[in-house]
Amino acid sequence: MQETELRFHVPIDEMERLRRQIDPRRAAQRRPLAAVYFDSPERRLAAAGIGLRLRREGRRWVQTAKGPAQDGITRLEHNVPLPLGQPPQLDLTRHAGHPLDERLQALGGEDLGPTFRTEIRRSFRALRVPGAQIELALDEGQLLAGEGAARLTLPVHELELELLRGSPGALLRHAHALVGRLPLSLDLRSKAERGDRLSHGQLQSPARKAGALRLNADMAPGEALRALLLNCFEQVGANASQIGAGRSEAEHVHQLRVGLRRLRSGLRLFRGLWPQLEHPALPNFEAQAAQWFRALGAVRDADVLAGELAPTLRAALSDALPGQDAAAPQQQTAEAGPARAAQCVRQAAAQQFLIEWLGWLDMLRQHPDLVMVAPAAEPLPLRRGLQRRLRRWHRQLRQACARFAALSPEERHRLRKHFKRLRYGLEFAQGLFDVERQARRMKPLLKAQTVLGELNDLELALQASRSRLADSPEAMFELGWLSARRSALLQQCAELMQAVADGPDLFRRH
């Protein structure tokens, strides 16, 4: 019924080392796997997160349907071996009676056709670990879409850990130790997802933005916290997967950092409101998120200088000083971005953090109360508790906005983080409050955050230009242009901050 599995990308130059590490006695079995995946011309199955394939495994063909992952590692799966000698023809009735059958029937199967195929060499063996038996499968090969001159290929070199029996926690503990000593990066993208994009000419997945979170007032605090953690993990995991695979853009890094910021804001939103959620290991988990966020900040800052501000500065320089060209070093910085990002994501500490995150999801699924503490009084309802925290955050924000003119650049940067924290808190709690009122609350926060973000990027560029004054004649021009732009933005920010400080209490009682 279900498949519990972790998939890891392996850098191509590390495959042989990995093979020796996971199979030191050369005891693994080997099997070629050739599969054809199916979908409609409108990609209905892909949009629903469903993979449907026919795969040749040795002498036999197997038809498989897989559903979307529910918690990062578990998905519905149904395998139907075809009788020996039967031609490999797709037949959706083979999945009758399985939970995926209803979804497949609702999506319709009359116009399903081949979209891409895979050619994989798999080495696999079973492994007993404390609390579980798992299968290690090392896949090498390629995804293929199109024919002739229009054919596209995407290499596959990955390790899969599938839980055969035992607990998901045991699988996660083994994976945690494994990424500490092997060059692996968690990849949440299935072959079906990657192949679907390849069939439409896309060699990488786009950056994943935050998905909507819908809490309701009847949720227990532990249930709500798990929903929040899963929502943030989907954004972080998707972007980290693409970055770790070595093919990414600046927006992947940006959205990864947004996801980590949302996680930290969510943990602070719940902190201290419900004693049963005060697990002693949670502060360390939050600290790891902050550490990874800061490490990615250096990559993001370089992306801003090379990809966002550089074109504007080059255009201004070209207008003011015809014949000057400051593009070369910035272009080199831009080209190095994906490699820096991949290195940051592939670090053992970052990968272990993602595995621990999955562990928290598994723990909250089994035990919504992280710490079994009998409340001294009637526990706060979810809506009242989050409203209390958001009201406090808004009051602190208004006080800081009232002092905006006296704030240093570092304090203005912290103020921007306070705007983000309140904004994300509001987004998390949006299902608990009136929708129209929520929209009114969000508008000034979004506008102020955007302008403060541009101001922060200008401060970053000013610092970089000052460091180049001795070596670059263009740096003096850059300093003048950036300083003028900053002065205009400071005036705009001062007006916006005063409006927030003088505005109404967004959380006043009715």
Q: What is the pLDDT of residues 475-491, one digit of tens each?
A: 787 788 888 888 999 99
What confidence category does residue 22 fall into, taking pLDDT thresholds of 50, 70 and 90? Answer: confident
Interval 415-442 mean pLDDT: 84
Q: Comparing 189-198, 208-217, 495-504, which segment has the lowest mean pLDDT?
A: 495-504
d(Cα 360, Cα 329) in Å, to the nearest integer? 43
Q: Rounded mean pLDDT of the chain?
A: 89
Output the pLDDT for position 433: 80
Output the pLDDT for position 504: 78
Q: Is the distance from CB of 243 to CB of 252 less than 8 angstroms?
A: yes
What confidence category does residue 311 fall into, taking pLDDT thresholds of 50, 70 and 90? Answer: low
Close Cβ partners of 496 (under 8 Å, ≥ 6 residues apart): 444, 447, 448, 451
d(Cα 104, Cα 102) in Å, to the nearest integer? 6
Q: What is the pLDDT of residues 58-79, one digit of tens each?
A: 889 999 999 987 777 899 999 9
Tell which phi-psi region holds residue 272, choosing left (phi > 0), alpha (psi between -120 and 50) or beta: left
**pTM for this model (two decimals):** 0.91
Higher local confidence (pLDDT), 436 or 96: 96
Interval 281-288 mean pLDDT: 97
Q: Comparing 50-64, 402-416, 433-447, which segment has the lowest mean pLDDT?
A: 433-447
Burial of residue 212 (number of CB atoms within 10 Å: 0-12, 13-18, 19+) = exposed
Output the pLDDT for position 376: 67
Picking from 176, 130, 133, the residue whose alpha carbon sits closest to that of residue 8 is 176
Interval 227-231 mean pLDDT: 97
d(Cα 224, Cα 222) in Å, to the nearest integer? 5
In this predicted structure, the answer to whether residue 335 has a pLDDT above a threshold of 60 is no
Q: What is the pLDDT of residues 238-249, one digit of tens each?
A: 999 999 999 999
Higher local confidence (pLDDT), 343 or 507: 343
Torsion of CA 111, 115, 119, 123, to 10 degrees: -70
Output the pLDDT for position 172: 97
In this predicted structure, the answer to whether residue 323 has a pLDDT above a threshold of 60 is no
In this predicted structure, the answer to whether residue 327 has a pLDDT above a threshold of 50 is no
Output the pLDDT for position 386: 94
Picking from 428, 421, 488, the residue whose alpha carbon sits closest to that of residue 454 is 488
Interval 501-506 mean pLDDT: 80
In a 3-state reduction of DSSP, which class is residue 266?
A: helix
For the chain, residues classed under CATH 2.40.320.10 are: 2-203
The partner residues of 142 in beta bridges, in order of sequence, read: 119, 155
Close Cβ partners of 173 (under 8 Å, ≥ 6 residues apart): 129, 130, 131, 359
Q: What is the pLDDT of residues 90-119, one digit of tens each?
A: 999 999 999 999 999 999 888 999 999 999
What the block records as the tokens of 364 is 């909250």
What the block records as the tokens of 14 is 């590390």
What confidence category does residue 176 fall into, taking pLDDT thresholds of 50, 70 and 90? Answer: very high
d(Cα 338, Cα 127) in Å, to the nearest integer? 35
Q: Is the distance from CB of 353 to CB of 237 less than 8 angstroms?
A: no
Interval 436-464 mean pLDDT: 82
For the chain, residues classed under CATH 1.40.20.10 are: 381-510
Q: Is the distance from CB of 397 to CB of 449 less than 8 angstroms?
A: no
Higher local confidence (pLDDT), 431 or 184: 184
Percent of the chain with pLDDT over 70: 92
Phi, psi of 233 (to 5 degrees): -65, -40
d(Cα 129, Cα 170) in Å, to the nearest integer? 7
In this predicted structure, the answer to whether residue 288 has a pLDDT above a threshold of 50 is yes
The domain 381-510: what is its CATH number? 1.40.20.10
Percent of the chain with pLDDT over 90: 67
Phi, psi of 26 (to 5 degrees): 55, 45
What confidence category does residue 5 fall into, taking pLDDT thresholds of 50, 70 and 90? Answer: very high
In this predicted structure, the answer to whether residue 326 has a pLDDT above a threshold of 50 is no
CATH value of 2-203 in 1.10.20.140, 1.10.10.1100, 2.40.320.10, 1.25.40.10: 2.40.320.10
